[in-house]
Structure 1
Amino acid sequence: MKFLGALGLMGALVSASTAGELLRPSIKLGTANVKTISGDRGGYVIDYAIRVLKMRRSGGFVRFNGACDSACTLYLAMPKGKVCVTQRASFGFHLPYGAGARGNQVAANFMMKNYPGWVRSWIAKRGGLKGSIATMTYADASRYLPTCPSEQRVAIANLGPTRLRGG
């Protein structure tokens, strides 16, 4: 009997949920410390490692709204509940350079160690980090990261009433 009651309660909660919450994980940005990334070409790995650490400690959120390349991709190491992507988001991965052979290897190892498993897997499927940029699009990233709130409303509006009913 307890099971049926719990099942009924779950049904009520699900029916009260929005379609967006059912389609993909959501994130509520509110008035928190939100960093929007768009057109970030990266830079020194150590600088980005410090930025990400500070963002984690502050409890802030990262909104990916455009290109995030090179060392910028370290923001993907943020907790999944602290980031979101828009349809304009993309991520460019390559081997670090500019710090000498040993320094570049240390930087590459650091980045790979800090990326979440799904990013490491995506990179591995493309042959690992290389000298040329491999670009992850929104289509790939949104399978693992929540879409930013304004994007969820647009996606729901595009579904139309027929698809929401399952027809």
Structure 2
Amino acid sequence: MKVTETKLNGCFIIEPRIFNDKRGYFFESYNQSEFNKTLGLNIQFIQDNESYSTKGVLRGLHYQKGEFAQAKLVRVVKGSILDVAVDIRKESPTFGKHFSLELTEENKKQIFIPKGFAHGFIVLSDIAILSYKCDNVYNKESEGGIIYNDPSLNIDWHMPHDKLIISKKDLKLATFKKQFL
């Protein structure tokens, strides 16, 4: 696998080796030993999640606080998304910065998002199936989020605002500055 660190400290793009032939393709989507060795980490993913969404659905920006903070390994099984990570670690040199990457069923890229990040995505294709691993369980009392259109983050979601489909809960999220500054 090819690993590239993003502009955010500790956040990596992972590109698996894909073997194509006339029958289709094969790739190893995750190998714990190789993952930890290559990234220099000791991550133990304990849960796999999958979501199905339609074009324009924007989920996020979500995070888990304290002892329930989560590292994630995100990939797209079907369709395409714009995946966004925001560094919310106050001690980090990239605090308050974000990174986005298009993840598609064709490019098979994955993004590793360490603990201390907010995460969100928007579906760019007609449908998308997203699969992600977490190294900690979800805890409702530890959840947090940042409003998708936060002016200080200025995230380009690659879609007009009138085409976005956002949950009522996500529309009520606070700004980055209100929570972290």
Instruction: Output the TM-score relative to the length of structure 2.
Output: 0.28
Q: Radius of gyration: which is bigger?
A: 1
Please identify which structure carries the higher helix content.
1
Relative contact order: is structure 1 or structure 2 higher (C-alpha 8 Å, sep ≥ 6)?
Answer: 2
Instruction: Output the TM-score relative to the length of structure 1.
Output: 0.30
Please identify which structure carries the higher strand content.
2
